[in-house]
Amino acid sequence: MRELGLDALENFIKFKKTNPSPKFIPEILADVEVLDGFFEIAKNQNWVSEAEILKLKQEYSMVRKELEKILFESGREPKEKEQRPKGERMKISTSSRKQKILDILKQGDKIQVKDLKTILPETSKRTLRRDFEKLVKQGLIQRLGENQETFYRLKQE
């Protein structure tokens, strides 16, 4: 989460300094959208105080609003989804998606499919469940609970 936040801010600062074409804005907005998902998970899992999450959300909201304003002034729609052809949005390969799942689990205790769906909105819940099952079979993670109370976490040694 920290790395993604720093990348988004770095790209935003580079954008502001070099003033490149607004076509790069959707990439930064996509990072901010993913961060929002991380913030919700961090809040729900009580990893960080709610006040700190709110402060971070407000800061990144200001970045989002400024980028959307630039897009609007340039005559482009501020909605990221309309900037790319359908299906082109951040396709993640199976192996890098599984690595991303492992990275997320390293940052926290446990996670549910619905929480991961907020971070990877372009990936279906069914695909995420299959990824989790493959990681369980590989012995990298553990499945805890059943049905609506199913959580996954890194395998305890």
pLDDT the model gives residue 118: 84
pLDDT in tens, 62-108: 888 888 888 777 776 544 343 444 333 344 445 678 888 888 888 87
pLDDT the model gives residue 142: 92
pLDDT the model gives residue 116: 87
pLDDT the model gives residue 157: 65
* CATH of region 94-154: 1.10.10.10
pLDDT the model gives residue 21: 66
Domain boundaries in the chain? 2-83, 94-154
pTM over 0.75: no
Q: Report residues of the chain scoring pLDDT below 50.
A: 78-93
**Amino acid letter for position 90:** M
